[in-house]
Amino acid sequence: MSRILVTRSSMPTIEEYENEIKSLWDTHWLTNMGAKHKQFQAELEAMLGVPHVALYCNGHLALENIIEAMDLPEGGEVITTPFTFASTTHAVVRSGLRPVFCDIDQDNYTIDVNKIEALITDKTVAILPVHVYGNICDVEAIKSIADKHGLKVIYDAAHAFAVKYKGQSAGAFGDASMFSFHATKVFNTIEGGAVCFHDDALVQKLNDLKNFGIHGPEEVAYIGGNAKMNEFCAAMGICNLRHLDEEIAKRKDVVERYRSHFEGVPGIKLAPVQKDVEPNYAYFPVVFDKAVFGAGRDEVFNALAKNSIGARKYFYPLTNTFSCYKDVINADSTPAALDISLRVLTLPLYADLSADDVDRICETVLSCKL
């Protein structure tokens, strides 16, 4: 029985990639914002409809850099969600800020906007919401709250590349949005990330942060680090961007086949289709109600594993339950997030996943029910 992985990276043909990187053997310019970097950046700005894109070697450093670039006062509080990957919380803490956790909406798993204002204090400096599984946060409500209280909004949009809300890219919302181009994402550059932003003043600041603050061969004006995207990753991005629409269309077919098996099954909860959103079909989360379905998340996970099918408890555990935060953070304030984290499973999803494999996955899941 062949193994089905939980995800599989999309790649162009080797011939297409070879053609894209061939010029690097002529120039020997492999990093430091060369021709491929500049081309990829320009293509992203045009595609996303944003004035500025800064490219990074990964999404985490992109998030850390944009937080630092906002000049938020050290020790300030950032309202965010624990229902996310470790990177989000770590980026806040590593920036000298304190995460304040808001619970999630139990339908789409994004931050519960009705609970944000109660968490705002005189120490609050920003809101850092997360677009989860490609589901878009309530960007309008978040903007209203942020404007009312004078707060910055930085979106973790790692899951939301190519998603649009009312015709606008997910990268256009807030003061800034971070995308991840990790190999497991809908769109990848092998490894990489980007920040979309509007403020012209951040162009130089972000360049300083990711390139040692170097302004010229004899001038270093800022204490920065190294987070640049190299030319090979940029070239992979250029290639994969050509196939993005096809990639998303194939993922849509997979999601629709999953839904045909699971919709209406008692004890299985699927994320609703969001109004006014063009999705990217990044993930397929399923939430199990053991009392109704007859098997809990962990039992389904184990059954899939026994049948050589990968799945992921994602997101589990919550970041506010990590052992590294046990002395400083309490998870009791986010019961909805805790509940979903104990019951959610993301099933295999990638462009080349066959209909037969989807059927096999679904049959295995449904065999667990009463």
Of the candidates 89, 97, 62, which has an alpha carbon nearest to the alpha carbon of residue 197? 62
Helix axis angle, 202-210 to 59-69, nearest 10°: 130
Q: What is the pLDDT of residue 266?
A: 97
Q: How far apart are CA 36 and CA 232, in angstroms?
A: 8
Give the list of residues 6+ apart from residue 6 with CB closer than 8 angstroms, or none: 310, 311, 312, 346, 347, 348, 349
| Per-residue confidence (pLDDT) for residue 1, from 0 to 100 | 75
Radius of gyration of the chain (CA): 21
CA angle 187, 188, 194 (to 5 degrees): 90
pLDDT in tens, the chain (370 residues): 799 999 999 999 999 999 999 999 999 999 999 999 999 999 999 999 999 999 999 999 999 999 999 999 999 999 999 999 999 999 999 999 999 999 999 999 999 999 999 999 999 999 999 999 999 999 999 999 999 999 999 999 999 999 999 999 999 999 999 999 999 999 999 999 999 999 999 999 999 999 999 999 999 999 999 999 999 999 999 999 999 999 999 999 999 999 999 999 999 999 999 999 999 999 999 999 999 999 999 999 999 999 999 999 999 999 999 999 987 777 778 999 999 999 999 999 999 999 999 999 999 999 998 7
Taking the C-alpha atoms of residue 311 and residue 74, their distance in angstroms, rounded to an integer, is: 39
Q: Tell me the CB-side half-sphere exposure of residue 185, using CA atoms within 13 A.
A: 26
- Range 244-366: architecture per CATH: Alpha-Beta Complex (3.90)
Q: Is the dihedral of CA 21, 27, 30, 32 positive or negative?
A: negative
Domain ranges of the chain: 14-102+110-242, 244-366
Dist. CA 73–CA 150, nearest whole Å: 14
Residue 209: enclosing H or E segment and its boundaries?
helix 202-210
3-class SS letters over 279-345: CCCCCEEEEECHHHHCCCHHHHHHHHHHCCECCECCCCCCHHHCHHHCCCCCCCCCHHHHHHHCCEE
* Per-residue pLDDT at 328: 76
How far, in Å, CA of 352 to CA of 10, rounded? Answer: 8
pLDDT in tens, 75-89: 999 999 999 999 999
The pLDDT of residue 43 is 98
Distance from the Cα of residue 217 to its chain's centroid: 36
- Options 3.20.20.70, 3.40.50.150, 3.40.640.10, 3.40.630.180; CATH of 14-102+110-242: 3.40.640.10
Q: Which residues, other chains included, contact 339 with Cβ-Cβ below 8 Å and sequence gap of 6+?
A: 106
List of E strands, 72-229:
77-80, 98-101, 124-128, 152-156, 164-165, 168-169, 176-180, 193-197, 214-216, 219-220
Under 8 Å CB-to-CB from 43, ≥6 apart: which residues? 238, 241
Q: What is the pLDDT of residues 186-216, one digit of tens each?
A: 999 999 999 999 999 999 999 999 999 999 9
pLDDT digits (tens, 9 = 90+) for 88-128: 999 999 999 999 999 999 999 999 999 999 999 999 999 99
Chain centroid to CA 357: 26
